[in-house]
Structure 1
Amino acid sequence: MTEEMLAHPWFGTWLAALLAVPLALLVHRLGGLVLVRITRPAPALHAMVLNCKPVARVVLPLVALLLVFQAAPNDLRFIGTVRHFNGLLLIAATTWLAVKAISGFADGVLAQHPSDIADNLHARRVLTQTRVLARTAMTMVLVAGGAMMLMTFPGARQVGASLLASAGVIGIVAGLAAKPVFSNLIAGLQIALAQPIRIDDVLVVEGEWGRVEEITGTFVVLKIWDDRRLILPLTYFIEKPFQNWTRHSSQLLGAVFVYADYGMPMAPLRKEVERIVKAATEWDGRFFNLQVTDATERTMQVRVLCTAATSSLAFDLRCKVREGLIDFMQREYPQFLPRMRIESDGMHEKPLHQGAHAVRAAYPMGQLAQEGVPPR
C-alpha cells in the first residue's frame, strides 16, 4: 500500500501541497504580527491590516498551492483542471482581500474624524468623500475580479472577442442602457470631490426638509423631518437645484412674521423680543432685531430675525419667539391685534376699539412667511 502511494504520480505534488499550506499559514501568522506592530502609528493602515488578516489567511495558502501546482508536471492527469480551479479561487480571494483592504482603510480614516461632535463640518466632508470613493473603488474591484474570472474560461474569451468584433449596434444599445449606471458613477465621484452635499447636511429638496442619511453608489437617502425617506439618484444633485442649509456652516438666521394693528407701539414690542430671545437657550448670541417690513391697508407686518447654531434650534427659537409675541400682545395690547372693522356713519370720532356698532372679525395674527418645515 505504501509503495503504491509512493509510486502514484500525484504523491509528490500532494506532499508539497501539504507542506506549503502550513508554511503559508506560518508566514501569515508572523507577517501579520509584524505588520500590526509596524502600522500601529498609522491608524488608517493599521485598520486596513486588521481588516485584511482573516482574508489573508485564505489568500496565502492559495498562493502557495498555485506555486505547487504550477511546478507540477504538465502530464499529470487533471492538472489543468486543478490549476484552473485554484486560479479561480485565488482571484476570488484576492478580490475579497482588495475589498476588505479598501473597507478597512476607509474605516481607519473615519475613525480619525468622528462626526458626533458639535463642529463636525470637516468630519462630514471626510465622511462623504471616504464613503463614496470607497464604494466606487470596491465596485470597480468587484467588476475587475469578475471579469478576470470569466477570462480564465476559453469560451468566455471567444464570446467576448466575437462580441467586440461584430456587435457594433449591440454595443451602442448596451452603452445607452448602461448610461444611468455610468452617469451615477461619475456623479458619485463629482459629489465626493466637489461635495455639494455631505452626510448629515440639511437640505430642502422637492419641497421637503431633511438630512442626508446615506450616500450610496447610485442614490442618496434623505431622512425627512417626520421620519420618511426621500430616495434620489446621485445625478439629481448634479443636474438640479436644491437648498443646502449647512454648506459652509450649520448656523442659520431665522425669521418670524407677525401682524399688528397700526396703533401697536414698537418700543414695548422690541423690549419684549429682546427679553424672549435672550432668555431662550436656542439663541446663539450672534444677532436679533425687530423691524416693520411691510404695511397693508389693514395691518403692518412685523419681522423678527434671530440666529441659532443649527436648523433644529432655529426652528424651535422661531416658535418660541412667535408664541411669546402673540402672548404679549394678547395680554398687554389686545386692542391692537389685527382686526377687520366695518363701522357705521358717525362713529369716526370714537376710538376704533370702542365702536358700539363695530362688527369685528378675527384676522390671522401669526401668519408665517418663509418658515420652512419642522426639523424633526
Structure 2
Amino acid sequence: MNPFRWDVDWNVLIYEIAVSALVALAAVAISYLAYRITFGLLKKITQLSESETDDLLIQNIRSPIKWSFIAIGITLAAQVDSGLGTVWEPLAQFLRPALLGWIAYNVVKASVATIEARLESYDDPVATRSRKTRIAVLSKIATFAIVVITIGLMLFSIPSVRAIGTTMLASAGLAALAIGAAAQPALKSLIAGVQVALTEPLRIGDLVKVDGDAGRVEEIKMGFITVRTWDERLLIVPTSRFLDETFENWSRVNERLTGPVYLHLDPIADVDPIREEFERFVKGHELFDGRNLALLMTEAYPESVELRLSMSARTIGDLWTLRCETREHMLKWLREHQPEALIRHRLELPGGHVKAGEPGAP
C-alpha cells in the first residue's frame, strides 16, 4: 500500500496558500502603517522635550519595535487564517524571545549612552571616572544576562530541547555540580566584575601600577581589564587579580601627588645653596601647585649622600614633567656652581706609587 497520498486537490492547495500569503501581506502592511503612525506621534512628543534621553531611547528601539509590530500583526492574522497559523506559530515561538531580547538590549544601550552624555558635563574627573566604571561593568552584566535569557527562551521553544531540559531537571543535583565545576572561571569573573563595580578599587581612566608597569585603565570587562602604558603597550590583566593581589592606584581619590627627585652627591656638597636653588626653581615653575616642597638628606654613606627633593603638582602628568625638568636643572646648576659635589671615582695614593720612586721606574 502506497503511504503517500496523490489524491490532493492542487487547485484547493494553491488557493489556500495564496489566501494565506495575501493575509500575511495585509497583516505586514497594516502593522507597518501602525508602526509609522505610532512612532510619528512619539517623535512629535519627544520634540517637545528638551532632554535627549527620550530621543536616544526612541532611536535605539525603533528597529526592534518595527519588527515586533510586524510579528504581532502576523500573529493576529494567524488567528483568523489556520493555514498561516500552521506555518507561523513554530516560527513565532522562536522569534518572540529574540525580539524581546533585542528590545531589552537596545534599552540598555540607550540608557548607557544617555548617562555617558550627561557625565560629559561633570566638573569632577574622579566622580566621572567612578560613574563611567559602574556604568561599563553593570551594562556588561545586564547585556550578558539578556543574551543568556534570550538564548535560553529561544532554545526552550524547540520541543526536543525542552525535552532535554526536562530530563536534566530530573537529575538536577548532578547537573548542578557539573555546571558549577565547568562554569567556575566564568562565575569568578562575573563576581569579580560586580565587586569592581560596587567597591571601585579602580576605575576607567585611573593610573595604576601592575607588575612594575604604570598605565591608564582603558576598559573594564567582566573577565579582564586593559591598561595602556606610557609606551602604548596594552596590558591585559584578569579582573580577579585586582581583587586578589596588591596593586597601586595613583589616582584613587584625585591626581594630586607628591613625587621625589633623588640626587646622589659627594659628602663635601654644601646642602643649603642646593636647597635654596631647588626651592627657587620649583616655586617659579608653572606646574607646581604649591602644596609640598622639601629637600631632605635621606641617607649618608662614607662616599656619598642622598638628597630627596620632593614636590607636588595638580596632575600625575604635570608631576612627571616637573620632576624631569627639576632633575635636569639641578644637575646643570651643580655642574656650574658646585662641580665638586658631583661624585667622581677617585684613586688616592698616599706618598705616591711605591714603584714610581724606584730606580729605573718610568
Q: Aligning the two structures, in what range does the TM-score lie when normalised by the shorter sequence?
A: 0.7 to 0.9
Question: Residue 60 of structure 1 aligns with which residue?
Answer: 69
Kindly provide the CA deviation profile for residues 120-153 of structure 1, in whole angstroms up to 9, marking residues without a partner as x: 1111111111111111101111111111111111
**Which of 261, 265, 286 is equivalent to 2:266?**
261
Amino acid of the structure 2 residue aligned with 1:100: N
Amino acid of the structure 1 residue aligned with 2:73: A
Question: Residue 271 of structure 1 aligns with which residue?
Answer: 276
**Which of 155, 165, 168 is equivalent to 2:170?**
165
TM-score by length of 2: 0.86
Kindly provide the CA deviation profile for residues 253-295 of structure 1, in whole angstroms up to 9, marking residues without a partner as x: 0111101222222221112112221233322232211111111
Deviation at 1:34, TM superposition (A): 4.7
Deviation at 1:169, TM superposition (A): 3.6
Instruction: Give 4+ residue runs of structure 1 displaced > 6 Å after superposition.
Output: 6-9
1:6-85 equivalences in 2 (<5 Å) = 10=20, 13-14=23-24, 17-18=27-28, 20-34=30-44, 36-37=46-47, 40-69=49-78, 71-72=79-80, 76-77=82-83, 79-85=85-91
Question: Residue 181 of structure 1 aligns with which residue?
Answer: 186
Deviation at 1:238, TM superposition (A): 1.6
TM-score by length of 1: 0.83
Question: Residue 202 of structure 2 aligns with which residue?
Answer: 197
Q: Is the Cα contact below 8 Å between 1:199 and 1:214 reproduced in 2?
A: yes
Deviation at 1:13, TM superposition (A): 4.5
1:1-376 equivalences in 2 (<5 Å) = 10=20, 13-14=23-24, 17-18=27-28, 20-34=30-44, 36-37=46-47, 40-69=49-78, 71-72=79-80, 76-77=82-83, 79-114=85-120, 119-166=124-171, 168-345=173-350
Question: Residue 374 of structure 1 aligns with which residue?
Answer: none
Deviation at 1:9, TM superposition (A): 6.5
Q: Following the alignment from structure 1 to structure 2, what is the Cα–Cα distance between the partners of residues 83 and 31?
A: 31
Q: Is the Cα contact below 8 Å between 2:137 and 2:222 reproduced in 1?
A: yes
Q: Following the alignment from structure 2 to structure 1, what is the Cα–Cα distance between the partners of residues 95 and 73?
A: 12
Deviation at 1:88, TM superposition (A): 2.1
For structure 2, the residue ranges without an aligned partner over 5 or more in a row are 1-10, 357-362
Q: Is the Cα contact below 8 Å between 2:95 and 2:154 reproduced in 1?
A: no
Deviation at 1:215, TM superposition (A): 1.1
- CA spacing shift, 1:139–1:35, aligned 2, 3 Å: farther
Deviation at 1:35, TM superposition (A): 5.1
The answer to which of 268-277 and 299-308 deviates more is 268-277
Whose RCO is larger (CA < 8 A, sep 6+)? Answer: 1
Q: Is the Cα contact below 8 Å between 1:49 and 1:101 reproduced in 2?
A: no
Q: Is the Cα contact below 8 Å between 1:43 and 1:109 reproduced in 2?
A: no
Q: Secondary structure at the match of 2:302?
A: coil
Q: Following the alignment from structure 2 to structure 1, what is the Cα–Cα distance between the partners of residues 241 and 333?
A: 46
Q: Following the alignment from structure 2 to structure 1, what is the Cα–Cα distance between the partners of residues 339 and 21?
A: 103
For structure 1, the residue ranges without an aligned partner over 5 or more in a row are 348-356, 358-376
The answer to which of 162-171 and 150-159 deviates more is 162-171
Q: Is the Cα contact below 8 Å between 1:20 and 1:65 reproduced in 2?
A: no
Q: Is the Cα contact below 8 Å between 1:293 and 1:302 reproduced in 2?
A: yes
